[in-house]
Amino acid sequence: MLLLILLFSTLGSIGALLISALLLLFPESVRYRFVPNLVSYATGTLLGAAFLGMIPAGLKQAPVFLFSVSLLGGIILFFLMEKLVLWRHSHEDQVSSDTAVVPLILVGDAFHNLVDGVVIASAFLTSIPLGIGVSLAVIAHEIPQEVGDFAILLENGLSRGKALLLNGLASVTTLPGALLAYLWLDKTSTLVPYVLALSSASFIYIALSDLTPGLRKDVGGMATLRQLLLLIAGIGTIAIFHHGQ
């Protein structure tokens, strides 16, 4: 189990980072078309992983009211953390040129990826299909996230090599996050459903507070239809992992 957790944490951090670095090699017009589509898909996988995967799994292991309170508390916690700039998710179109923004991005990213590691570990400790579905949602939202981070770092004058190195350092925190959560939760399994509640809160928060505002800017029937289909495809991908569970 630990090997699976470490493998999928690596895919969700370094794997997503390398894919986003490769995307930077493509012309901007290609990225401009691809990244928003991935954001729609990622929103579906995050919501699917929370509502079809982690919430039903958590409710099987904990009293409904306590689980709901943890979920609600998690949403408020992520709101407060975003205020403290510990937690952020943005896309390419929000590029700002301010040198103070670089350390903030890296610290925020490192913390965010640490939480992603905890999410992956708690999902795998519940079941392997849940772990794989959740990891997929992590990979899907990390690629557009890292593309956005690269854009901001390059915009602020960092070389490509330095941007890759610093972004890489901020990404690997997923591994200690997953490892610590595994060691801790393996011994105190009664806490797993509550960590699943917080993990669901983080996915719902990323999907609705960070990703969908960007999607709302694309008005028009065709854009909305494409986003809707990709959103459903994201949910559908997660549903496959929970079929018959």
Q: What residues line the site for Zn ion (CB under 5 A)?
A: 116, 142
Between residues 142 and 149, which has the closer beta carbon with respect to Zn ion?
A: 142
Give residue number: closest CB to Zn ion.
116
Kindly state the smallest distance separating residue 173's Cβ from Zn ion, in Å: 11
Between residues 62 and 110, which has the closer beta carbon with respect to Zn ion?
A: 110
Q: How far apart are CA 119 and CA 8, in angstroms?
A: 11
Q: How far apart are CA 191 and CA 196, in angstroms?
A: 9
Between residues 62 and 81, which has the closer beta carbon with respect to Zn ion?
A: 81
Between residues 102 and 114, which has the closer beta carbon with respect to Zn ion?
A: 114
Kindly state the smallest distance separating residue 64's Cβ from Zn ion, in Å: 28
Between residues 53 and 62, which has the closer beta carbon with respect to Zn ion?
A: 53
Kindly state the smallest distance separating residue 68's Cβ from Zn ion, in Å: 24
244 in helix, strand or coil? coil
Between residues 62 and 139, which has the closer beta carbon with respect to Zn ion?
A: 139
Transcribe 57-124 into DSSP letters: HHHHHS-HHHHHHHHHHHHHHHHHHHHTTS-----GGG----TTHHHHHHHHHHHHHHHHHHHHHHHH
97: CB partners within 8 A, 6+ apart: 155, 156
Kindly state the smallest distance separating residue 12's Cβ from Zn ion, in Å: 7
Helix (H) or strand (E) holding 140: helix 128-155
CA distances from 151 to 93, 164, 221 (A): 9, 11, 29
Q: How far apart are CA 136 and CA 107, in angstroms?
A: 24
Q: How far apart are CA 124 and CA 185, in angstroms?
A: 11
Kindly state the smallest distance separating residue 185's Cβ from Zn ion, in Å: 19
Kindly state the smallest distance separating residue 174's Cβ from Zn ion, in Å: 8
